[in-house]
A and B are shown apart, each in its own frame.
Chain A
Amino acid sequence: MSSPIDQVLSEFVDAWNAGRRPQVDDYLGRVAPAERDDLADQLMMWLAVAPTPDYPDAAREEIRADPTVRAVLAATAGEAGLWPELLPRLRKRAGLAIRDLAARVVATFGLTGEEERTAGYLERMERGELEAARVSRRLLDALGAALGVSGESLAEAGDLRSGVARPAAASPGTLWRADGAPSDALADEFAALSRAAMTPAPTPMDELDRLFTGGPDA
Chain B
Amino acid sequence: MMAAAGDSEIVRRHDEEKLRRFVRCRDTGDVEGAQRWWAELVEDNIDRVKGMVAIWGRDGRLSADEREEAAQQALFRLWRNMVKTFEGSSMGEWVNAVRRCTEYACMDVQRSAARRRRHESSLDETVRGEDGEVGRHDRQLGKRAEEEYRRAEERDDAAGFVAWAVPQVANERRRTVIERSLDGAPAEEIAAELGVEMGNLYQLRSRGMKDLAKLKETYDP
Contact = CB atoms under 8 A, between A and B. Distances in A.
A97 interface: no
Contacts of A94: 121
A73 interface: yes
B12 interface: yes
A68 B212 contact: no
A161 B75 CA distance: 14
B42 A40 contact: no
Interface in B21-76: 25-31, 34-35, 38-39, 42-48, 50-52, 54-55, 58-59, 68, 71-72, 75-76
A160 interface: yes
Contacts of B181: 13, 17
Given A51-B184, A150-B139, A68 B28 contact: no
B206 A42 contact: yes
Contacts of B91: 51
Given A10-B201, A42-B209, A164-B83, A63 B46 contact: yes
For the residues of A in contact with B, the DSSP-based class is helix
Taking residues whose C-beta sits less than 8 angstroms from the other chain, chain A's interface range is: 35 or more
Contacts of B14: 52
Interface stretch (A23-31, A102-110, A200-208): A23-31
B122 interface: yes
Interface string A50-90: 11111000001001101111011101110000100100001
A185 interface: no
A21 B54 CA distance: 13
Contacts of A47: 48, 51-52, 55, 99
Interface stretch (A1-9, A128-136, A187-195): A1-9
Contacts of B128: none
Contacts of B199: 1-2, 6-7
Interface in B179-221: 181-182, 184-187, 199-203, 205-206, 209-210, 212-213, 216
Contact of A45 (B80, B184, B209): B209
Given A68-B46, A160-B76, A163-B83, A51 B202 contact: no
A165 interface: yes
Nearest to A160: B79
Interface residues of B, number: 73
B55 A73 contact: no
For the residues of B in contact with A, the DSSP-based class is helix
A150 B136 contact: yes
Contacts of A148: 121-125
Nearest to B214: A45
A116 interface: no
B44 A165 contact: no
A43 B50 contact: no
Given A52-B44, A82-B76, A18 B186 contact: yes
A207 B127 CA distance: 34
B212 A45 contact: yes
A197 interface: no
B31 A5 contact: no
A6 B125 contact: no
Given A48-B95, A50-B182, A69-B42, A165 B76 contact: no
15 contacts: A2-B202, A14-B187, A33-B59, A40-B58, A42-B210, A47-B99, A48-B95, A48-B161, A72-B42, A148-B123, A153-B123, A160-B79, A160-B80, A163-B26, A163-B80
Interface of A: 1-3, 5-7, 9-11, 13-14, 16-18, 21-25, 28, 33, 36, 40-54, 60, 63-64, 66-69, 71-73, 75-77, 82, 85, 90, 93-94, 148-150, 152-153, 160-167
Given A40-B58, A47-B48, A73-B38, 20 more contacts: A2-B206, A6-B205, A6-B206, A7-B202, A17-B3, A17-B185, A41-B213, A44-B55, A47-B99, A49-B212, A51-B91, A52-B44, A63-B47, A67-B68, A73-B35, A73-B39, A73-B42, A76-B35, A85-B72, A165-B28
